[in-house]
Chains A and B, each alone.
Chain A
Amino acid sequence: DAGITQSPRYKITETGRQVTLMCHQTWSHSYMFWYRQDLGHGLRLIYYSAAADITDKGEVPDGYVVSRSKTENFPLTLESATRSQTSVYFCASSGRTENTEAFFGQGTRLTVV
């Protein structure tokens, strides 16, 4: 199916565990983004990627790792999950120019216990 999909939709993990959130897009968009949204707050940019093998930090990168070996995938890894990383995570993708819209996934609700 065309679009942008995130998996899993819901995840409960324990403190200290490593967890990876997946994001896949079918448009061959150059840009991909990861955001977190805490309850009652706006979206904060964690990491973004301009192309395969090119990633950069956003506003709140600490505790997260990303990779982009293929254009269509942009996984987000929490190396050692903490309770403060309990949040809803959104992935997005967009074309190369500033004149293109971004498309968002449906989100992954992560709970760290």
Chain B
Amino acid sequence: DAKTTQPPSMDCAEGRAANLPCNHSTISGNEYVYWYRQIHSQGPQYIIHGLKNNETNEMASLIITEDRKSSTLILPHATLRDTAVYYCIVRVIQGAQKLVFGQGTRLTINP
């Protein structure tokens, strides 16, 4: 299974863009990169996913490097409600499609 590496914690000022990096250097060519977040003790919430092109939705943007070995999740105008743990996941498709979480990045948005 492709593994991901994320910084354990990050801080960002309210109103600024939050850029969360993720390394997935062993990713296979047909594996997707997913981002989820978990606020307090709630169930994780889907944010965005992509294969090789950059993606944008109402919540965030996902930038995947050309070699696909890393990606960055961008929250364009962070608010206090974006304080959460953010997980970068590679969705494995060899055999059964496990969804395995790493330790994630604890993002704190400061007023």
Contact = CB atoms under 8 A, between A and B. Distances in A.
Interface of A: 31, 33, 35, 41-45, 48, 50, 54, 56, 58-59, 88, 90, 92, 94, 96, 98-99, 101-107
Interface of B: 30-32, 34, 36, 38, 41-46, 49, 51, 85, 87, 91-93, 96-104
B43 A48 contact: no
Contact of B100 (A45, A50, A56): A45
Given A88-B41, A98-B31, A106-B42, A42 B96 contact: no
Given A50-B96, A56-B96, A45 B101 contact: yes
Contact of B97 (A31, A35, A44, A104): A31
A107 B103 contact: no
Given A42-B87, A42-B104, A101-B34, A94 B99 contact: yes
A102 B49 CA distance: 11
B90 to A, nearest CB: 10
Contact of B99 (A41, A48, A105): A48
